[in-house]
Amino acid sequence: MAKFVIHKKGFFYTDESWEDVNANGTVVSIFNTLEEAKAEKINQDIISMQNLKGWDARDFFFYDNNFDTKNYDEKFEQMENYYKTEFDLTITKKNSFNFPNEINSEQAKVFLNILGFSFHDIVEYCDEEAPSPKNQDDAEMSSVEDERDYEEDELQEF
């Protein structure tokens, strides 16, 4: 029977933004069904997003996609609108603004949606495969979701 494994993603800072590096980081949880794994992945993503309280928000979408300023402008506009409607705050500096000091679950979901990323990845392992980031190059793994992958070294608290 296949196992569905949630792997923690990590980030690498490029002096401008956080970028993805590797396919799979630390194993967070192992499930027998994809539905269980998806539900827990959402919970883990919310917790990780809440840990970003007070961080510079633009570092998570600064010129994403090879310095695509259109993408940056679109995400900034979404953030600007959300800050105004949810927190009654106006972002005064386009090049630097922080996530709120407190982020509830619903707000975390909105931020994850705007940013378009996840802190975790679900990988399906066959019966004979060991779910471990150490054997990821040797094992034949198939990514269950189309997510960007991250190395965990840089930001352990996420």
Grouped pLDDT means (10 residues each) for the chain, 158 residues: 85 56 73 96 95 86 60 87 94 84 96 88 80 46 38 43
Range(s) of the domain holding residue 9: 3-143
Q: What is the pLDDT of residue 153?
A: 39
| Inside any domain, residue 80 | yes
- Domain presence at residue 153: no
Angle, in degrees to the nearest 10, between helices 34-50 and 105-115 = 100
What is the reported pLDDT for 130? 61
pTM over 0.85: no
Among residues 124, 122, 129, 125, which one has the least CA distance to residue 146? 122
Q: What local confidence, expressed as pLDDT, does residue 93 receive?
A: 77
Relative orientation angle of helices 69-87 and 105-115, to the nearest 10 degrees = 160
Q: What is the pLDDT of residue 144?
A: 41
89 within domain boundaries: yes
Query: What gap in Å lies between CA 143 and CA 46, rounded to an integer?
Result: 21
Residues with Cβ < 8 Å from 86, sequence gap 6 or more?
A: 107, 110
User: Is residue 48 in a domain?
Assistant: yes
The two tokens of residue 146 are 């189309």
| Alpha helices, DSSP H, located in 32-144 | 34-50, 64-67, 69-87, 105-115
Residue 53 Rama label (left phi>0; alpha psi -120 to 50; beta): beta
Euclidean distance between CA atoms 151 and 139, whole angstroms: 18
The reply to whether 99 falls in a domain is yes
Residue with tokens 């840990």, as numbered in its chain: 51
Residue 151 lies in a domain: no
The answer to the question of residue 60 being in a domain is yes
Total domains present in the chain? 1
Q: Is 99 exposed, middle or buried (0-12, 13-18, 19+ CB in 10 A)?
A: buried
On whether residue 156 sits in a domain, the answer given is no
